[in-house]
Amino acid sequence: MTDRRTWQLTAGAAGVGLAIAAGAVTAAGPWDSGQRTAERDRAAAPGRTGGAHHQPVRSTAPPGPAPAPSAPGVLPAAARPAALPAPVAKALAPLMKDRGLGPVVSVSVVDAATGKALYGKQAGVPMTPASTVKIATAVAVLAAVGPAHRIPTTVVAAPDHRSITLVGGGDPTLDEARLRALADSTAHALREHGVSTVRLAYDTSLYKGAVRHPIGVNPNIAPITPLALNEGRLDSSTSGPAPRSADPARDAAVAFVGMLSVRGINTEAGPVRAVRPAKSVLLARTHSAPVGALVERMLTNSDNDIAEALARQAAIASGRPASAAGAGAAVAARLKGLKLPLAGARFADACGLNRADKVSASLLTALLARAADPAHPRLRPALTGLPVAGFTGTLSDRPAAAGAGLVRAKTGSLTGVDTLAGTVVTPGGRLLAFAFLAGKTPHYGAGRPALDRMAASLAR
């Protein structure tokens, strides 16, 4: 974002289109008094974000009040024009012939206000979605726990307070500031009991199954554990690929030991991995930002670590194991409960790095339309978190899709796969949901320019 070229493109897009876009974007409802929920929440409690496998081709806070929904409805009734937009097929058909898309393309466009299909080509065919599967993850976790839920990280003590356990609750955004606050509260509580030396354990038993994502050791995702500091990043980055810790949970526990030591609490043993004692008392606790804000961060930055953590929260809320299989089953069950078209869908992971994921374009647009439905306000962050083309997140350097700032969409890329799904405000003020999936592109990122032009054409 500090790149001069990106700044110039952003400024240019703003100068040309912002005046036109402002009224329609405000009417479309993805803003909360001009500021997205995640941005407001991040200003109050900064956290780290993570990366995704689709980089540019050019290569101790107590629970607080829940954030208000960003809008009562994504498109207020008064702003809904009576007339449908110009025929979508005429706008998209020529662009779909672009060689960069390859021979397998699936498209769905619906009216977000009514759910009516406006255009479809192989819309019901399950395809590898790459990171657009995060839209399904977002809707599922919001349906499961709601946008106000916060994820705890706790410290518990044995009855004599001589042994303490740092318990991972699955917060993917735990950072130094909140870990220090947790150490403050822990040290204060121990001093009140006359304790200055403890044995320290750390508990990661919340998650089940493999710690490594099937993609293996990869800079786009850390080992999946309920306890991690800064997403296991070993550099100062806050998004995108980064070197990752081989054992984020132990690293977090070691950091906690150091923070306790500074506060006068020494450890005679540990940290060791262990399940918390059956009889234990709560010593201290910190909470993540509300899940609604985490969803927004996940979508904006295509954060793989947050995606996997949120899907496991959906599993826990559904009474399933917090594993890859449990998370996938929970996502599917929650979407089924929302009466969404799941034929052929498979959720092999929550972030889209797994090529075994399968969703259809019609499922993606149905998810977006459901999130826009005033009857489902708790799903709204699945829309408000979408990057704004030419301005934010993974679309900040893709001005071709900018559409005067009216395109908001989740990106997705793997080698041979390019996808884009989101919403666009038409010149008449109607909100459309779209999903474009290209499944056999010539090379990594080859389909992005064509997908961007397709999205921009809807805005025109």
- Catalytic positions, please? 131, 134, 302
Whether 355 contacts 128, CB under 8 Å: yes
Pairing of strands 163-167, 197-203: parallel
- Non-local (6+) Cβ contacts of 339 within 8 A are none
Closest CA to 40 of 18, 65, 22, 62: 65
Partners of 348 in the β-ladder: none
Whether 395 contacts 385, CB under 8 Å: no
Gap between the Cα atoms of 434 and 416, Å rounded: 21
Strands of 231-339 (E only): list them.
266-273, 281-287
Q: Which two tokens stand for residue 10?
A: 């952003």
The separation between CA 394 and the C-alpha centre of its own chain, rounded to angstroms, equals 12
Gap between the Cα atoms of 98 and 50, Å rounded: 32
Gap between the Cα atoms of 229 and 211, Å rounded: 16
SS3 413: strand
The separation between CA 160 and the C-alpha centre of its own chain, rounded to angstroms, equals 41
In 10 A of CB 115, how many CB atoms?
Answer: 15
CA dihedral 328, 412, 170, 336 (to 10 degrees): -30
Closest CA to 455 of 397, 384, 372, 399: 399
